């Protein structure tokens, strides 16, 4: 169960960083959706290492193979399995990890949990696991766009203290893809890139915030009580590597307001019910209200740094470690497609659930 | 599925604000745990309305009845159903809600989703739903304490801009219960109470942050990938009414640090592996590492305020609404036992899962 | 998880035979379905002990209370909790059971599993647990009839060697209810009643077969691979107390035929696709084909008999036991509403799942 | 959800008969289990087509590739993905199926459900889907044997009217594998083989019964109420292609007995509690009692026969069909490893669940 996500639109991922493959099986994608390998590959290319000078230089083609579930370019309603083979496995970089726990990585906790671990490159805890999510997300996103006109865009909102000004109701994917840091505020993007470059040369790392918006989401998605839309989106994003915080709508900042300032007043928008403000982030009582769904995820600075650090070895004795492996000085540019994928998976699942329980059309 | 939570330690809640009852059935609680009605009632009393001048004045005894699963004071391993009857239903306060949607409440989205709604008091979206959670959480907490020595404490960390100084590694429940706002920093607590009192008289409301800590959690709880401990804790807290944000460990603030500042360095603590800092909040790679688990939840200012606000009626026409019902000017003091309950439920579930997947013996 | 059933139309039952209550919470029933307490009670009355001279004489009114989820006679889309209080608890009859394991009952296995057991009346293993199922099934059946025109009828097909001749495509509930053994073949019904009466006087018990049919089931229900319609129906019926066998369509007898005899040939029935025979029992590849769904469940002779039997005590020592409690000499007449309920729950769940995944209207 | 099975030991299969691959991902296998590709391959070879003159002559090597989750011959506690590539795809044999529905196959119901279908070779409804199950079952069986000493043996009990005499408490796998029909009663096996050969030449097909036994199962496995061991075993076997019936212990035949004949009397077997007879088939109240678990599955005669049959085309018009493809005249010899695999998967899952809910220690 640890590697499955979703109720009706459900994915199960597999694969270790330095094992032979990573992949995913998608169970519950509706039938008759047109989908091509190229559409999936395009998303994987956005997640791929080595795509720019500010990401890790690990070289992986990350070429996807469709193993099942798609025939003549159409989904069959049956499980869709997608496979990517690992190729650039510089295991030598990781020799020290066999005997030492990297600080703030999962090495120690995996060992404590399982009594064994795939020590090369973090094994299952590696960000390579997200390949399956991004591949599956490409299909979920295509289906949401086709069936419901939903549009999902994520972008880097903040790196360390550098914060971008972005209007979530109008931001386009083209603006996001216009630079290598995936921040649609061009001026701030340049500063972010320079900062990441500097920190990379210093062998250190940075954190920040990814913001994501879903526009055109039908009203009524999300379930009362436990499977609230924001609870499921929160779980989805918090399950991404390095994610330590989540908020929707006004989030933490909203706690500083009075109710009279924070409430989103309804009005008659020519027959449609809309709200004047969107502190709710498109979700009220856990259910979408037709406004843009806006969420943010906090990513900690990458744990892998190229500086010597104190740690312990597998016998629990004090030692030091200085990683030599390639690393992402800042995960945020590559986290953007991961966030979009998880958001698409949650919305696709809730769309199917709503259609099942309340039967809003095909 | 909307009203169930957990995999092995699983709860299902029921009940509307102004229906006859609210309750919960707990499926998967291990057998032979001593539990009394009084222990459950004690937690419900902490959640109960009317407990102090800064909470809603709705009068409810919230007396729990054990319907099944406990015999001679011991759990049987079978489902434990717990029931509370609603009594003080001043439906008259809600007449206007029959025809008007309250801003930033779930009235409109429930109607959009189900095509029907229990309009009195918010129906299922009412905080009365959490009675079942708190009752179930009392049992989960008892089990965690008994089986694993886990101790859970939550408290009000911030109301609007008033922030308390609390050390999560030492804070006690007694200190939390020492005042009606449930903030263990006595000086700040007084300020919080005064502020809430003022805002209540003004018919307005406040938000803030609840922080929670779990101490003594065994290493190895939490699952890689989707069911990471912080992802499940995040979902659990974000599913509480009015919760719009979640963070674990360093959370959003941690994104401002460099990796070299943020990493938690391991050291040999006389045979045990510990970390010098705890930016990870006790969770690494989604799995507990033996340090204190520390999380925070952001609660928006209560949507119900006693001021006139613009809104629309059920026909979508512009109108105004001025609620007369009783309300909580600040949900945080009553949110404390809810946060503790959800945390206990997540940890109990993961403890059983870990014992199942990696345990020894039958 | 042990006490929950279903994916989208999901129930969780609770309660022991001699505890205070039994009940059920239904999560996922679609909104706006008209349902009354009387409709639910009518099904419970068919399951009730003491309804005729061939059932147990335990006296229970089994009066249902609706705890939540129904307002002004309509479902709200929220959880529906239903409660029945136990009244006639002649615990004295069970004193011997405290120290001795009844043969072919669950006394020993519950003790082995949980290290504890509610020994009075079988606790959770009692057929009283099925009250929740039957109550929930009444709602599922109403919804299937309303939304899809599905009609479900079960009846006693065989008691010991006495087998009825019944046409599943035309049998009515009125014919089933025309006699106390619930066998629509009047002549055989009389023989069954006489046999049961005789065996009852002898303190012994009988088994037999219940057959059930669902007519008007839309094509396309059921999922390929694991959640085949017959696999889920099988699990549903095999989960009933005393059920030791299940078959659909031609079942075990069909294994004696050649493929050329067994295949159901399609033909053009004036625009609709039908089959000449129905050895498939309305299910092909796990999916409904529009023909009548026909299944059978085998119920063993009641384990409780009023004869002295060898057994062991809780210390594992040889002893003998002669139960004095009331008992059902043959569970089949009361199993009929249980089988119907489980069938309704499976079909309602698959109807919602199909609507979710493949979107066939509301 | 349609293609996933299990709660803690959970598998998800994928793949169509004539698509590029079939496979499975296993989520929840405990860590540190030694497993080799050869052990998995050995089970696949028992399931493989073309293994003898009485199975289909489709030629497939069915060579398994381990994609993840196993390192240096040990499971890691992470998902294990297993892949088999399809090779011998004689699509030409299936041309007629593009436009005609084969009687008693899933062609029509898949089309009705999904509005599309992989018509070649039955697509997802093909028995090739069971490759993933058998591969996963090999691992589940290894784990059960290693962790709990459980031994599982299945065999052909009956073909048409030819019934074998087999003692489930002593039968060995060697005896099963001693002939190509997998019936440990050598004399009856010869008759079965001759019958199958004859029917094959006639282009017709046969059904029958597979019996399976699990010995050494610990007491306490299985959950009360819905997830009874026999209910989950029933679902597991009924989900196999062509399975139309299931029984455990005395099954349908037991319904002919009186309770006084049917009850299994407990006795003190030198300190252990045993039963004199085993009509319960090792399961009482849904929970294992330590006796041998004995179940039977009824498989209908193969739907594919090489005779002309009436049917309809995809426009619903009457037509005839005479398949030319290779076929299994009797699925039973190849069903034996499938039954064993499903039994192993159910028992492994319940073993983990029991350890989680009632186990000791972390």
DSSP letters, B14-45, are EE-TTSSEEEEEEE-PPTT-B--HHHHHHHHH
Predicted complex ipTM exceeds 0.90: yes
Closest-CA distance of chain C to residue B72, Å: 10
What is the predicted pLDDT for the residue at C93?
61
Closest-CA distance of chain D to residue B209, Å: 32
pTM higher than 0.90 for the full model?
A: yes
Tokens of D51: 């293994």
- Please measure the distance between the N-terminal and C-terminal CA atoms of chain C and give it in whole angstroms: 30
d(CA A170, CA A74): 31
DSSP SS3 for D54? coil
Cβ-based burial of A73 (10 A; exposed 0-12, middle 13-18, buried ≥19): exposed
Residues whose CB is less than 8 angstroms from the CB of residue C124 and which lie 6 or more positions away in sequence, other chains included: B76, B78, B79, C15, C16, C17, C110, C118, D224, D225
DSSP letters, D252-317, are HHHTTSBHHHH---EEEETTEEEESS-TTTTEETTEE-SSPEEEEEEEPPPS--SS-EEEEBTTS-
Tokens of B193: 């109470």
* pLDDT, block means (10 residues), chain C with 362 residues: 91 96 97 98 94 81 96 97 85 77 96 92 91 98 96 98 98 98 98 97 97 97 97 98 98 98 97 97 98 98 95 96 82 97 98 89 38
d(CA D135, CA D39): 9
CB contact under 8 A, C28 and B118: no
B302, β-bridge pairs: none
Per-residue pLDDT tens over the stretch A147-157: 999 999 999 99
CB contact under 8 A, A359 and C30: yes
**Residues from chain A contacting residue C355 (CB–CB below 8 Å):** 355-356, 359
**Which of A259, A268, A278 is the best substitution to test chain B (most B C-beta atoms within 10 A)?**
A259
What is the predicted pLDDT for the residue at B92?
63
> Alpha helices, DSSP H only, in D26-177?
37-47, 107-114, 130-148, 173-176
Centre a 10 Å sphere on the Cβ of residue A319 and count the other Cβ atoms it contains: 17
What is the predicted pLDDT for the residue at A361?
41
Chains that touch A (3 or more CB pairs under 8 A): B, C, D
Please state which of the ranges A325-329, B237-241, D103-107, D236-240 shows the lowest mean pLDDT.
A325-329
Q: Which of D19, D80, D114 sits opposite A68 (nearest CB)?
A: D19
What is the predicted pLDDT for the residue at C323?
77
CB contact under 8 A, B219 and A113: yes
CB contact under 8 A, C68 and B116: no
Packing angle of the helix pair B130-148, B332-358 (nearest 10 deg): 50
Per-residue pLDDT tens over the stretch A272-284: 999 999 999 999 9
- How many contiguous H segments (helices) and E segments (strands) does chain D have? 9, 18
CB contact under 8 A, D255 and C309: no
Per-residue pLDDT tens over the stretch D26-78: 999 999 999 999 999 999 999 998 888 888 777 788 999 999 999 999 999 99
What is the predicted pLDDT for the residue at B217?
97
Q: Which residues of chain B have pLDDT under 50?
A: 361-362
Closest-CA distance of chain A to residue D288, Å: 25
**DSSP state for residue B127 in the 8-state scheme:** G
CB contact under 8 A, B362 and D148: yes
d(CA C150, CA C168): 14
The domain spans of chain D are: 4-358
Per-residue pLDDT tens over the stretch A70-94: 999 999 999 999 999 998 665 566 6
What is the predicted pLDDT for the residue at A327?
78
What is the predicted pLDDT for the residue at A362?
34
Quote the Cα angle for B91-B94-B99, to 5°.
130
Closest-CA distance of chain C to residue D69, Å: 23
pLDDT at residue D323 greater than cutoff 50 = yes
Mean pLDDT of chain A: 94
CATH number 3.60.150.10 is the correct assignment for the domain at D4-358: yes
CB contact under 8 A, D252 and C264: no
Extended beta strands in B142-263, E state: 151-159, 162-163, 208-215, 243-248
């Amino acid at each position: 169960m640890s590697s499955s996500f979703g109720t009706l639109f459900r994915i199960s991922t597999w694969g270790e960083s330095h094992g032979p493959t990573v992949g995913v099986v998608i169970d519950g994608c509706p039938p008759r959706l047109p989908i091509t390998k190229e559409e999936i590959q395009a998303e994987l290319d956005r997640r791929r290492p080595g795509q720019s000078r500010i990401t890790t230089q690990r070289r992986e083609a990350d070429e996807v193979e469709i193993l099942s579930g798609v025939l003549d370019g159409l989904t069959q309603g049956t499980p869709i399995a997608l496979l990517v083979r690992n190729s650039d496995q510089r295991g030598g970089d990781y020799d020290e990890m066999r005997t030492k726990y990297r600080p703030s990585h999962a090495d120690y906790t995996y060992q404590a949990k399982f009594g064994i671990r795939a020590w090369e490159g973090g094994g299952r805890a590696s960000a390579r696991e997200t390949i399956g999510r991004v591949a599956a997300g490409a299909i979920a996103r295509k289906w949401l766009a086709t069936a419901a006109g939903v549009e999902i865009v994520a972008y880097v909102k903040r790196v360390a203290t550098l914060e971008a000004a972005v209007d979530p109701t109008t931001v386009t994917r083209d603006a996001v893809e216009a630079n290598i840091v995936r921040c649609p505020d061009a001026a701030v993007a340049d500063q972010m890139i320079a900062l990441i470059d500097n920190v990379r040369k210093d062998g250190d790392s940075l954190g920040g915030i990814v913001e994501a918006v879903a526009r055109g989401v039908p009203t009524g998605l999300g379930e009362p009580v436990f499977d609230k839309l924001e609870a499921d989106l929160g779980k989805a994003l918090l399950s991404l590597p390095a994610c330590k915080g989540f908020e929707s709508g006004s989030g933490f900042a909203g706690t500083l307001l009075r109710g009279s300032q924070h409430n989103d007043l309804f009005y008659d928008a020519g027959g449609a019910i809309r709200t004047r403000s969107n502190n709710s982030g498109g979700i009220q009582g856990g259910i979408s209200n037709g406004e843009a769904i806006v969420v943010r995820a906090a990513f900690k600075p990458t744990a892998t740094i190229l500086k010597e650090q104190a740690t312990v070895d597998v016998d629990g004795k004090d030692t030091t470690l200085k990683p030599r492996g390639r690393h992402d000085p800042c995960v945020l540019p590559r986290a953007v497609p991961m966030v979009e994928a998880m958001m698409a998976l949650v919305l696709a699942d809730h769309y199917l659930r709503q259609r099942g329980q309340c039967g809003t059309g095909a």
